[in-house]
Amino acid sequence: MPDLSFELPVSQPFRFQRCLEYMTRSPLECLYEVDGDKVIRLIRAEGAAESALLEISCPDDRALRVRFLQGAPQSDAELSRIQSYIRDWFDLERDLAPWQRLAEAGPVLGPLARSMYGLRLIGIPDLFEALCWAIAGQQVNLAFAYKLKRRLTEAYGEAADREGRTYRRFPDPAALAGADPGELQALQLTKTKAAAIREVAALMQRGELSRAALLALGDFDAAERELVRVRGIGPWTAHYVRMRCLRDPRAFPIGDAGLHNAVKAQLGLDRKPTPQELQSLFAGWAGWEAYATFYLWHSLYELKTAALGKDNR
């Protein structure tokens, strides 16, 4: 295919390398591949006849450079949807300057905001993927959650091969709506999680649940109420989806174990913080709870990386 590419301008603060560092936090990630200073991902725009394999780089932190490796868009509308997907994935529409000023001014997030300068909240634009990832990750460690996502993707998702490498796309709802419960449990999903994923898939396949409809409510609390009506979706999952998919800057998964561990580490506590302590701490970041949570989550990865580096010296 002829070389087809485009650029998407980004506003500051933005550091592509910081985003790539976050995206390489697990070697088990199966939905994209970070290759040096670029990331490669297989996506399908809504209404597109086929998926597109994209290579994204950003050499000067001023514009993302996107190149089609396979599956060039067949219309301007399809191209526009792909561009929207990428903007959403990297949260490019967000003016991050107020967050940077707010975070840097405080003693808890100040060091993180400076060390993570330009890190955007990497999103999950596809609602079905976001819900399945959240459901799979309930009450298990992150490594096992990645294994579950990989198994689901390899068993039911689409794949594209290029230059000896295989790139995968998360399954569509239709692929899982009628999946055999026993086959899902064979992937080590619990019976409850398998049922929840099948129900979400069926709702989305019938058009009874969609990202567009949730956003059209114009109220993230109303969107949460719609989500928790679905079996297997509780407040934690709903806030995770509000944060990573619906892009609610006030999303606050207060019950998240990783968040508790991150706050414990940053404050030097000998115990996990209480809900009241978390509420008080996050009151200083009102309107940016999602970014505060995201940076605190990432701080755990940086602490772990630093500890491994120290052990290897």
Q: In this structure, are 157 and 192 located in the same domain?
A: yes
Among the three residues 243, 268, 284, which one is the final residue of a domain in this structure? 243
Please check whether residue 9 lies inside any domain of the structure: yes
Please check whether residue 100 lies inside any domain of the structure: yes
For 139-173, the pLDDT digits (tens) are: 899 999 999 999 999 999 999 999 999 999 999 99
Residue 30: name the closest of 135, 160, 140, 170 by CA. 170
For 222-261, the pLDDT digits (tens) are: 999 999 999 999 999 999 999 999 999 999 999 999 999 9
For 48-84, the pLDDT digits (tens) are: 889 999 999 999 999 999 999 999 999 999 999 999 9
Q: In this structure, are 16 and 83 located in the same domain?
A: yes
**Sign for the pseudo-dihedral over CA of 15, 215, 178, 198:** positive
pLDDT of the residue at 97: 97
**CB of 147 within 8 A of CB of 141?**
no
Does the pLDDT of residue 312 top 60, yes or no?
A: no
- Tokens at 264, concatenated: 């414990």
Q: In this structure, are 264 and 227 located in the same domain?
A: no
Please check whether residue 49 lies inside any domain of the structure: yes
Catalytic residue among 37, 95, 161, 256: 256
Is 221 among the residues known to form the active site? no
Please check whether residue 86 lies inside any domain of the structure: yes
Residue 99: name the closest of 293, 283, 287 by CA. 287
Q: In this structure, are 252 and 232 located in the same domain?
A: no
Please check whether residue 122 lies inside any domain of the structure: no
| Domain with 262 in it | 96-116+245-313
Please check whether residue 121 lies inside any domain of the structure: no
Would residue 82 be called left, alpha or beta, if left means φ above 0 and alpha means ψ between -120 and 50 degrees? alpha
Q: In this structure, are 277 and 307 located in the same domain?
A: yes
- CATH number of the domain enclosing 215: 1.10.340.30
For 179-195, the pLDDT digits (tens) are: 999 999 999 999 999 99
Question: What does the alpha-carbon distance between residue 88 and residue 92 come to, in Å, rounded to a whole number?
Answer: 6
Q: In this structure, are 107 and 133 located in the same domain?
A: no
Q: In this structure, are 131 and 239 located in the same domain?
A: yes
Q: What is the DSSP code string of 125-136?
A: --HHHHHHHHHH
Does the pLDDT of residue 212 top 70, yes or no?
A: yes
For 248-301, the pLDDT digits (tens) are: 999 999 999 999 999 999 999 999 999 999 999 999 999 999 999 999 999 998
Q: In this structure, are 10 and 63 located in the same domain?
A: yes
Q: In this structure, are 219 and 269 located in the same domain?
A: no
- CATH number of the domain enclosing 62: 3.30.310.20
Please check whether residue 163 lies inside any domain of the structure: yes
Q: In this structure, are 26 and 67 located in the same domain?
A: yes
Among the three residues 226, 243, 260, which one is the final residue of a domain in this structure? 243
Q: In this structure, are 69 and 81 located in the same domain?
A: yes
Please check whether residue 218 lies inside any domain of the structure: yes
Percent of the chain with pLDDT over 70: 96
| The model's pTM | 0.94
Q: How many domains does the chain have?
A: 3
pLDDT of the residue at 2: 52
- CATH number of the domain enclosing 289: 1.10.1670.40
Long-range pairs for 145-148: beta carbons < 8 A, 24 or more residues apart: 146/26, 146/28, 146/29, 146/30, 147/28, 147/188, 148/187, 148/188, 148/189
Q: In this structure, are 73 and 163 located in the same domain?
A: no
